[in-house]
Every structure is written in C-alpha cells, then in structure tokens.
Chain A
C-alpha cells in the first residue's frame, strides 16, 4: 500500500470518529477551508454489514448500519469523499472537504497540525481513559490450577 494511501486512511479514520462539533472547534484555529461544491449528498442510507464465520466460512449478512456519505469538489478539481457512521450530515460534509483539502500538498501540513493531530490525540486519550475505567473493575478468577 502506498504511503499516500496510508496517510489518507489515517486522516479519514480520525475524521470518521470525530463529531462535527469537535471538528468545528479545531477548524477555528486552522487556516480557512477552500470553497467547495457538493457533488453528492450529504445523504443518509443503510449499508449491509457482511461477516464471515471464523474468517473463512460463508459470507452472511450481519445487520445494516446507518451511514452518511458526502462527496465534494474544490475549485482546483480535487475530489474529497467521506463515509461516516450515523446521520450527522455536517460531519460528513466537513470530513469530505477536509479530505479534499488534505490531498492538496499546499494545505496538508497546516491542516494536519491544526485539526487531525489534536483530534487523534483527544481520541487516544478518551480510549485510554475508557480502558483505565474498565481495568479498575476487572475481576480475577483463580482456578484450582493456579491456586496450588
């Protein structure tokens, strides 16, 4: 997988997990986003999740989940796409515009620094807090084998 693709996957993963309020709060400190035109959406729909028992069994339909998607284009012609879980249309549109702006070399570095990195840090922090809280309630079960 190319380096560029991995970087794009990373910023989309961060944006997909950030609420529109959190993205907006970060954008206040960032350079203004370029003007954009909506190509499609934002629109909400259902996506069928498919699973595979044991990783190699027959595919089965697990359930449907609500997904909002959006595609935008900048004046430079760059196209940004976003698919986010839930029905937050604002988040999908912001994520699509950011995806387009982040593909552009000129605007990538400041946006990564002002938006993506702080969001990623906040998400990692929230995950760590959650893990700590869960760890505090962990119950150790001892079996005959290790009591001996």
Chain B
C-alpha cells in the first residue's frame, strides 16, 4: 500500500485550487506539485485530484485496476458504484459513453458526474478549439490519448444544459478541464 498526501490539509487545498483554476479557465493547463507516489496505474495529478475531491459521500467508478482500487478505497473511503450512479468517474483513456453517465436533474444540475480522464499528454497552443465562459476569444488544447469521436459524443449532450458532465483531463502532474459550458471543436 502506498501513502496518500503527506500533509492532507495543505496538499488538498493546493490541489483544489488547481482544479478550481482549471475549471474557471477551461483548457488552461495547471500543474499539481503533490509529491505523491501513487499506485503504478495512476499519474500523480490523477491521484491528487481523486484524493482531493472524492470522499465517503461521492460514489466512484473507475477502470484503473486492483492496486488502484485498494488504494482509493483506503485513502478516499469512497463507495464504488456503476458508471451511471457515480458522482466521479475515473477513466484510463477509454471513457464510457456520455449517455451512460449521471447528468443531474434540471432542479439539481450540480449532481451531474465529473469525468476524470488520464491521458498521455496535454499541450496548449494547438489541437482543439475551445470557446465559452472563461475564455476570452479562443483557446487551443492538444490532448493525446483520447479515442476518436470523444468531442462529438460530448457535443451530442449539449441540448441537455444545464444538465451535463464536467471533464477533467490529467497527464503526469498536469491537468486541464472542460466544464459542461465549454464548446470544443476538433482543430
């Protein structure tokens, strides 16, 4: 078993700040310096985001394997759930279809799931064209390691707004986010 955050309060707060920044400025890459040594399947940024956001009240669904499962159960204390019931869904690069995830209700859109995807690499300046709240004109983000048709699947759920799914992309110690308000097109 690997340890979690050395200083749960400080590390949790600095990672929360990074996620908040990432969600307020969609597509901008934030760095999480957590000093974590997570199980082999998880990148440091993925592990830090999970330790920060997931707890006993948020069911999790993941496809990260057994070692990560034991680690997450111990450190987050979270119940495991099917993809459709989970508040957080962790994917190692092959995310489940958006239609199978919880989108919240019109009265409580905040109950929509957060999809955390571990990708190979993130790079600004080329790739997807992002527009929407938090972006002045246009922001470009290149994501390596996502299946074809991910953006099309995401765009197909747009009519449900304010219901929806927020996406956090993690690679090594970096993360970027696509909240449900962001319009993304292939570049």
* A40 CB within 8 Å of chain B: yes
In A50-78, which residues have CB < 8 Å from any B CB?
71, 73, 77
A112 to B88, CA, bound (A): 44
Complex contacts, A37 vs chain B, CB 8 Å: 3
**Residue among B2, B3, B8, B75 with the most chain A CB within 10 A?**
B3
| Nearest CB in chain A to that of B77: its residue | A40
* Cβ of A87 under 8 Å from chain B: no
How long is the Cα–Cα vector from A44 to B5 in the complex, in angstroms?
Answer: 16
Contact assessment for A79 and B3 in the assembled complex, using a CB-CB cutoff below 8 Å: no
Instruction: Give every chain A residue within 8 A of B1 (Cβ-Cβ).
Output: 39, 73, 77, 79
B8 (CB) vs chain A CBs: closest residue: A43
Q: Mark A26-40, 1 if CB is under 8 A from B, else 0.
A: 000000000001111
Count, chain A residues at interface, CB 8 A: 9
Q: Which residues of A contact B3 (CB under 8 A)?
A: 37-40, 73
Cβ-Cβ contact count across A and B, 8 Å cutoff: 18
Closest residue of B by beta carbon distance from A72: B3
Alpha-carbon gap, A1 to B4, bound state (A):
32
Which residue of chain B has the shortest Cβ distance to A78 in the bound complex? B1
B161 / chain A contacts, CB cutoff of 8 Å: none
* Neighbouring A residues of B150 by C-beta, 8 Å: none
* Minimum Cβ distance to chain A for residue B55 (Å): 13
> Once bound together, how far apart are the Cα atoms of A49 and B2, in whole Å?
31
B21 to chain A, nearest CB (A): 27
Report how far A77 CA is from B70 CA in the complex, Å: 14
Chain B residue nearest in CB terms to A77: B1
When distances are taken between beta carbons in the complex, the residues of chain A under 8 Å from B74 are: 39-40, 71
Q: Which of B88-138 contact A (CB under 8 A)?
A: none
CB distance from B51 to the nearest CB of A (A): 11
Contacts of A43 in B (CB 8 A): 8
A51 to chain B, nearest CB (A): 22
Q: How far is the CA of A37 from the CA of B8 in the complex (A)?
A: 15
Q: How far is the CA of A73 from the CA of B74 in the complex (A)?
A: 13
- Distance between A76 CB and nearest chain B CB, rounded to angstroms: 12
As a 0/1 sequence over residues 1 to 43 of chain B, the CB contacts with chain A under 8 angstroms (1 = contact) are 1111000100000000000000000000000000000000000
Inter-chain contacts of B4 with A (CB < 8 A): 39-40
Shortest B71–chain A CB gap in Å is: 10
Report the bound CA distance from A37 to B75 in whole Å: 15
Q: Give the distance in Å from the alpha carbon of A40 to the alpha carbon of B1 in the complex.
A: 11
A37 to B2, CA, bound (A): 9
Closest to B9 in A: A43
Q: CA of A73 to CA of B75 in the docked complex: distance in angstroms?
A: 14
User: Can you report 7 A-B residue pairs in the complex whose CB atoms are below 8 A from each other?
Assistant: A37-B3, A38-B3, A39-B1, A39-B2, A39-B4, A40-B74, A73-B1
The 3 closest A-B pairs by CB, nearest first: A39-B3, A73-B1, A79-B1
Question: Which B residues lie at the A interface, using CB under 8 A?
Answer: 1-4, 8, 74-75
Q: A39-B74, A39-B75, A79-B1 are in contact. List 15 more A-B contacts (CB 8 A).
A: A37-B3, A38-B3, A39-B1, A39-B2, A39-B3, A39-B4, A40-B3, A40-B4, A40-B74, A40-B75, A43-B8, A71-B74, A73-B1, A73-B3, A77-B1
